[in-house]
Amino acid sequence: MSEVEDDIAIETLILPLDQWHRARGGRMVEFAGYWMPVQYEGIMAEHEWTRSSAGLFDVSHMGQLFVSGEGVEAALEAVLPIDLATLKPFGPRYSMLLDEYGGILDDLMVTRWNSGFYLVVNGATKWDDIAHLRENLPDEVNLMHMEDNALLALQGPKAAEALARVTEGEWPLADLKFMKGGQFKIGGVDAWISRSGYTGEDGFEIAIPAEEAAKVAELICAQPEVKPIGLGARDSLRLEAGLPLYGHDLSPDHSPVDADLLFAVNKRRRSEGGFIGAERVLRDLAQGTPQKRVGLALEGRQAAREGAEVYAGDQKVGVLTSGGFSPTLGHPVAMAYVDQAHCADGTALEVDVRGKRLPARVAPMPFVPHRYYR
């Protein structure tokens, strides 16, 4: 690779709302290959605002894909461990891409649209995901990368009343329950809206044309309940909600079984297999796994971070994959892969942080109860 090609390869990309974020004081950092706002007022303040009111997140770095064509349902079932026969129209569902050894390549959302399936994949892995899908889907199936779309997430207990004020549709926005979606207009702009998100709060994800992103974001943030929120609070919120982050809590080293995400492998697929990576997943189901992803509640106020080792006495029994201070609970929490013998709720463990052992206990997740609108 030449120096010019290398410079192009590592260039940090700009999202449609880049200038909008900067104009509102967003502190921009490189994340998943894009410049994105990590915070505006401060992570703690933004976290608490989202918990009590409504926060608008820009998640346009995520990959939006549309898969259609002859035999698309069977083709997708050969790639994903999902039972598409049970997937009702316009109802998103969590799923995964697995490699041939059953390791997790990405987690994603799948929605049945009228003529195909809408997938939302992680920003850091979307190009690899697209390549993986193209390689494993037959020629009759079309894969469209919806590069001209932006994606926003409005999250928090007042998200519904704020969004309803600026939204028009064939039915009221309030009729949408958790993991349901539909077509609406926001300020005259066509929008796909689903009642979903990654904070544990009630909220919505909003797909719109990229060229209209600033208009829609401005309209939503003009509502008194809403403030723009950065990546920092998004991470602390999803950690409190016990939601794994790809590249940290999920990776090809782990299968859906030891990641404690077996709900993503539908019942029929657990018995029939027939998807990429099924051999390992079915074996893990039958034989168990050496470790499991668990939650940890730490004593004191010092947070432990990814990579910290977990001990039971003198024995190392696990490693943290995510960790931080919980503003809602007032103490640190973490996720870790821990040996099965030490996974039971309430098990006393210790986490090594720069040579200091911090007391911890295995705790059920979510750490903060979900408040989805069901």
Q: What is the pTM of this model?
A: 0.95
pLDDT, position 1: 39
**Chain mean position to CA 33:** 17
* pLDDT tens digits along 246-278: 999 999 999 999 999 999 999 999 999 999 999
Residue 372 zone, left/alpha/beta (φ > 0; ψ -120 to 50; rest): beta
CA 55, CA 261: separation in Å to the nearest integer? Answer: 27
Number of C-beta neighbours around residue 5 at 10 A? 9
Cα Rg of the chain, angstroms: 21
Fold of 3-60+148-240: Gyrase A; domain 2 (3.30.1360)
- What is each CA distance from 264 to 82, 210, 218, 259, in whole angstroms? 7, 30, 35, 11
Give Cα 24 to chain centroid, integer Å. 25
Percent of all residues in the chain with a pLDDT value above 90, rounded to a whole number: 97
Q: Which of 108, 33, 47 is nearest to 324 (CA)?
A: 47
pLDDT above 90 for 9: no
Residue 46, both tokens: 């933004």
Beta bridge partners of 21: none
Is pLDDT above 70 for 138?
yes
Q: Is 210 exposed, middle or buried (0-12, 13-18, 19+ CB in 10 A)?
A: middle
CA-closest candidate to residue 371, choices 50, 93, 108, 92: 50
Token pair for 224? 């008194």
Per-residue pLDDT of 152-164, as tens digits, reads: 999 999 999 999 9
Do domains 3-60+148-240 and 290-374 share one topology? The answer is no
Block residue for tokens 């993991």: 179
- CB contact at 8 A, 246 and 98: no
- What are the residue boundaries of the structural domains of the chain, listed by start? 3-60+148-240, 290-374
In DSSP terms, 352 is beta-bridged to 309, 357
pLDDT in tens, 79-134: 999 999 999 999 999 999 999 999 999 999 999 999 999 999 999 999 999 999 99
pLDDT in tens, 295-322: 999 999 999 999 999 999 999 999 999 9
β-pair type (34-39, 13-14): parallel
* 290-374: CATH class: mainly beta
Q: Which two tokens stand for residue 159?
A: 């998200």
